[in-house]
Structure 1
Amino acid sequence: MIRKANISEIDQILAITKACGERMKEDGIFQWNETYPNAEAFQKDIERGELYVYISEDIVLGCIVISTIMDEEYKSVKWLTPNSNNYYIHRLAVHPKHQGKGIARKMMDFAEELAVQKNFVSVRLDTFSKNIRNQKFYKARGYKQLENIYFPNQSEFPFYCYELPLKK
């Protein structure tokens, strides 16, 4: 089941993102660190009603932020659709013990279906240039790779922007 997250679940969500960060480091992907993602970001996501969790047997197994807010870093990107009525995906995470079971796919299906229901024109996101697995995941879903952006607090390496225009 996918539903909006509660403040009381932040510790579970942080445990998931910490485990994901450790798994990525083992794979040589230095994307998430001690400063990102953090409790403050997730709290703001919950306050805006943008953080969703994937629940199985009352346990949080994954999370996804589905936002209407365009981050400053995205403003210079030449997107495929106009900058209005777009969803932005952030902090998609599935606990490593539960990866490979289609949970990330279900959360992305949920986000894309929500965008269609609300008549949004596209879904946008970024993924780390060193995270080949994520790049394949989004390309297989039909996302088009666009320009690079940088988050210096996370890495010296670029993040690739992706967009999926939605059919009307």
Structure 2
Amino acid sequence: MEMMKVEMRDFRSILKIFREVKMELEKQNNDQWKWIYPNRFIYKADVKNGTMYGIKEGNEYIAVVTLDNRQSNEHQSMKWRDHAGTPCCIHRLAVRPDRQGKGLGKQLLRSAEHLAKQQGYTSVRIDVYQSNATAISLYEKNGYLRIGEVRYPMRKLPYVTMEKQLLHD
């Protein structure tokens, strides 16, 4: 299974993934993704901007991620390691709950890093809700280092900021 750019014709499939992931997070008492964020307008912008990628099985997406160079204002105060290069950010990495634990998150992450290198980026940055231990573990196992924490409105807990330097051949 290869990662590919998501197109608008697949938008319903994308909505399904996020709806299922949000329900699963809610079952775990994790308020990382609520009704206000992320939402259909954000997903649609990701697809229209050509920054959302995913892995399909048959006609359905089973995992998606957004890769772009947009950082929130809260990230400006972080002590990032990559000062001289061009960083990109991973947003909204999601794997359908019935497909989690099978290596899709790792595959999607590696594919996004490969794409970032191809596009000339020198590092990847992400923030992860503090209570999402599974996601934090995934990133740490794949070479991401903790940089600090940021807080966003209407969230009880902070987000852990992480960064990975990309080695170019």
CA-to-aligned-CA distance 1:74-132 (integer Å, 9 cap, x gap): 11211110265111000000110111121111110111111222331101101000111
Aligned to 2:119: 118
* Structure 1 SS opposite 2:77: coil
* Structure 2 SS opposite 1:9: helix
- The answer to whether residue 30 in structure 2 is matched with residue 29 in structure 1 is yes
- One-letter identity of the residue aligned with 1:27: Q
Shift of 1:135: 0.9
The gaps in structure 2 that reach 5 residues or longer are none
Aligned to 1:91: 92
Shift of 1:40: 0.7
Percent identical among aligned pairs is 26
CA-to-aligned-CA distance 1:42-75 (integer Å, 9 cap, x gap): 1111222101121111211111000112222211
**C-alpha RMSD of matched pairs (Å):** 1.4
- One-letter identity of the residue aligned with 1:98: R
- Structure 1: 4+ residue segments shifted above 6 A: none
* Structure 1 SS opposite 2:162: strand
Matches within 5 A, 1:53-68: 53-68=54-69
CA contact (8 A) 2:150 2:158 kept: yes
Count of residue pairs brought into register by the alignment: 167
Per the normalisation by structure 1, the TM-score is 0.93
For 2:120 and 2:8, how far apart are their aligned partners in 1?
29
CA-to-aligned-CA distance 1:135-155 (integer Å, 9 cap, x gap): 1111000100111111213x1
Shift of 1:156: 2.1
Per the normalisation by structure 2, the TM-score is 0.92
For 1:126 and 1:149, how far apart are their aligned partners in 2?
8
* Structure 2 SS opposite 1:62: strand
